[in-house]
Structure 1
Amino acid sequence: MTKRRRGSPAPTPAGMRPRMRVLLTALAMLLPGLGLAVGALAYRWHVSSEADRLRAGGVPVTAYVSDRAGGGGRGSGIDRIEVSYLYGSKQYSTWIPCAGGTGCHRTPGPKMAVWVDPAAPEKFVAANGHTNGSLSFLMSWTAIPAGLVFAVLGGVGVVLVIRTRDDQWA
């Protein structure tokens, strides 16, 4: 075992230079951050266009509100309702957000109109504007800024690595 001299740089794992470690860390923040921000925007666009398509060409069906959960206080989760409907002699049931960003102040009535996709009956848009995909974590408005923060931090790291010389990392 050789002793390291005082003041000499510490050995790096697997011979990786500090510059490369910083670059990999920056890329590990930049790429998922961009993916999260772009993915959340794209998913919101997809859900919105799916809702428009179903309002125009879906089959109107009466759904029943069978349960309500969440939204009771800070940190209690999304205020959501369970809707069930019958289409083509088959029962479908899923949870959707209760209302807009403020949630529901009371449980909606026992019935709700939904428009069902005849080709894929599990897909629908409810009268409150939410679809069967509205509870995805990508629908959270915080996903976009969180992704952008990580992307910016990673981008700054990449720029710093690119703009500095090798001899500054020793």
Structure 2
Amino acid sequence: MTGSTHQLASPEIAINAIPTDDRIWVPQAPNVFFRPLFLNTLTGQWCNLLKVTKSGVLSRHVHPAPVFGFVLKGSWRYLEHDWVAEKDSFVFEPPGEIHTLTVPDDCDEMITLFNISGCMVYLDEDNKQVGYEDVFTKIDMCRAHYEENGLGGDYVDQFIR
């Protein structure tokens, strides 16, 4: 289209979600890792796998936008609810709900696909903000981790749209 100002769509992403190279998992906290799948800097959306390799409480947090999850391995729950998300479970989290993610004692590894828009705001017991994550902090974490482990800081660029 000569003379057109139309832009082509961003390229698709088609990858093996669960990597064979452990260096792709980005450490987020002790025994907590994420694998980026899609990082959208225009809308603030990100999609990743969350992997937890030890039981216990991960975080207390709130999302200002809906979150969608699908459990691939293991199980987890929110202390504020009586349901348990097990393998093949779909989870919808409404915006504004405060919850505390925990992995049960009988689970040695949990992997869940999460699709998140906006940010995660980490809270203490008094509902005071103690931290946050958004697509940009996720990119920064990936870039630093990949630079340090030999994949190169630009490895994360393939997931950014």
Q: What's the TM-score once normalised by structure 1's chain length?
A: 0.22
Higher strand content, 1 or 2: 2
Q: What's the TM-score once normalised by structure 2's chain length?
A: 0.23
Higher relative contact order, structure no. (Cα contacts within 8 Å, ≥ 6 residues apart): 1
